Amino acid sequence: MRRVAILGATGSIGQSALAVVAAHPGRVKVVAMAAGENTARFAEQIIEVRPERIAMASAAALAEVKAAVRARGGPDVESASGAEGLIAIATHPDADVVLFASSGTAALDAVLAAIAAGKTIAIANKEILVMAGALVMKAARERGVLVLPVDSEHNAIHQCLHGRDAAEIKRLILTASGGPFRGVSAAQLESVTPQDALRHPTWRMGQKITIDSATLMNKGLEVIEARWLFDVGPKQIDVVVHPQSVVHSMVELTDGSIIAQLGVTDMQLPIQYAFSYPKRWTAPLPPLDLVRAGRLDFEQPDTACFPCLGLAFRALEGDPGLPIVLNAANEVAVSAFLNGQIGFPTIGHLIRSGMDEYERLGSRSVQNLEDVRAIDSWARAYVAAQTPAIQSKS
Ligand code: MG
């Protein structure tokens, strides 16, 4: 029996994880779970899953969810809130695997705590690896802890590599769907709306990541994730646009052979892989129908129209603080775009301006989470100040 703890239970990945658990009652069990603010959904999940321990972002949300569970005759479980609550879930003594499915930076301390406690880490949270990939992977190596990627591209690469010697790897090839604006001109991008950007052609995901797919920043963040997860240099990572999202990513070996992983576009697959690893279980998903898929296209990404991908490579090749700046600037810019405060192309302009300013101020050391948080706060404040509409609102 694989016992798991889930951080981010009510989000898109968390819900898919619970579907995987429900499909394999004899094989995997949830012992602890944490959620942000969605008390209604979390209360339902607690009643259904009956974990031993729960946590929520705030004490108020926790009190509300406990009252809701009690009112429906559910169990009175051990609980905590805030940063302490996340750590209590991530280090639950009965958990073998901890799934980091929350978004944002709240789980940074919890991931290091889980590694110190010797847990297998299943990671779907991009920010953790983009901001602190070097710190997290170093801690995992020193503690001998396995880090299994749940992001579909990295999960595909993990499957393709399957213990292969690093010396045999020529490059990693991440596939990108191209998002809803593939083939759209720079002039047309000036007037696209958040609603246009939220219409993703192949994946159903949360708002922030869907906008990131539209700007190609999602792929940029994934390039940074790949660099840390697989310990390869930026020059060994390539991105190819593949609109059908059937090939989830590829690895080119030194002899020129390319190994690919193909599958249906359902996050249950990479989540189940992380729960069953190194074994394989049957999955309650429709099989991939290649004949129905018909054709698989591959294109060069348009980095002129979508500068965010290029900015991510620049961040990876530059100062170690730059990926933190990139990530923070992007979060501020995306939320300004979603609120109708800036146009779509301004997202990239704001990120570039944050990175330029950070470089102008000179290098800072990134040795621990405090350093990471300081750079993150600086970048958020700087980019917010560049966005007058945000400034007047806060
Ligand atoms: Mg992905």
What CATH number is attached to the domain comprising 27?
Answer: 3.40.50.720
- Whether residue 234 sits in one domain with residue 327: no
222 Cα–ligand 1 center, Å: 7
Range of the domain at 347: 318-394
Whether 280 maps to a domain, the answer reads no
At how many degrees (to 10) do helices 152-161 and 268-276 cross? 40
Q: For tokens 């658990």, what's the residue? A: 21
pLDDT tens, position by position, 316-372: 999 999 999 999 999 999 999 999 999 999 999 999 999 999 999 998 999 999 999
295 Cα–ligand 1 center, Å: 21
- Whether residue 293 sits in one domain with residue 168: yes
Beta-carbon contacts of 295 under 8 Å, excluding residues fewer than 6 positions away, are 244
Query: Cβ distance 52 to 76 under 8 Å?
Result: no
Residue 393: per-residue pLDDT:
43
178 Cα–ligand 1 center, Å: 12
220 Cα–ligand 1 center, Å: 10
- Whether residue 329 sits in one domain with residue 354: yes
Task: Give me 299's structure tokens.
Answer: 């294109």
312 Cα–ligand 1 center, Å: 15
Residue 199: per-residue pLDDT:
85
149 Cα–ligand 1 center, Å: 10
End-of-domain residue from the set 150, 169, 202: 150
252 Cα–ligand 1 center, Å: 19
- Whether residue 128 sits in one domain with residue 71: yes
pLDDT tens, position by position, 123-161: 999 989 999 999 999 999 999 999 999 999 999 999 999
- Whether residue 135 sits in one domain with residue 11: yes
Mean pLDDT of the chain, nearest integer = 95
153 Cα–ligand 1 center, Å: 5
Q: CA 35 to CA 14: how far, in whole Å?
A: 9
- % of the chain with per-residue pLDDT over 70: 98
Query: Cβ distance 232 to 160 under 8 Å?
Result: no
Residue 392: per-residue pLDDT:
47
Q: CA 159 to CA 358: how far, in whole Å?
A: 37
Domain with residue 325: its CATH number is 1.10.1740.10
pLDDT tens, position by position, 163-220: 898 899 999 999 999 999 999 999 999 999 999 999 877 766 778 888 999 999 999 9
DSSP assignment string, 17-42 = HHHHHHH-TTTEEEEEEEESS-HHHH
Residue 394: per-residue pLDDT:
41
What is the count of structural domains for the chain? 3
Instruction: Give which of 7, 17, 14 is closest to 273, Cα–Cα.
Output: 17
340 Cα–ligand 1 center, Å: 26
14 Cα–ligand 1 center, Å: 15
326 Cα–ligand 1 center, Å: 18
pLDDT tens, position by position, 1-21: 999 999 999 999 999 999 999
- Whether residue 86 sits in one domain with residue 9: yes
Whether 273 maps to a domain, the answer reads no
Residue 212: per-residue pLDDT:
95
Name the more confident of 347 and 75.
347
Beta-carbon contacts of 363 under 8 Å, excluding residues fewer than 6 positions away, are 319, 321
65 Cα–ligand 1 center, Å: 31
- % of the chain with per-residue pLDDT over 90: 91
Residue 221: per-residue pLDDT:
97
Whether 311 maps to a domain, the answer reads no
End-of-domain residue from the set 150, 175, 204: 150
Whether 310 maps to a domain, the answer reads no
- Whether residue 165 sits in one domain with residue 99: no
Whether 274 maps to a domain, the answer reads no
294 Cα–ligand 1 center, Å: 23
156 Cα–ligand 1 center, Å: 10
End-of-domain residue from the set 104, 128, 150: 150
Average pLDDT over residues 33-55: 97
Whether 66 maps to a domain, the answer reads yes
pLDDT tens, position by position, 107-127: 999 999 999 999 999 999 998
Residue 238 pLDDT > 60: yes
Query: Cβ distance 301 to 216 under 8 Å?
Result: yes
Residue 201: per-residue pLDDT:
73
- pLDDT band of residue 389 (cuts 50, 70, 90) is low
Residue 206: per-residue pLDDT:
78
317 Cα–ligand 1 center, Å: 21
Task: Give me 340's structure tokens.
Answer: 């109708």
Residue 391 pLDDT > 60: no
Cα-Cα-Cα-Cα dihedral sign, residues 202, 207, 213, 219: negative
Residue 390: per-residue pLDDT:
53
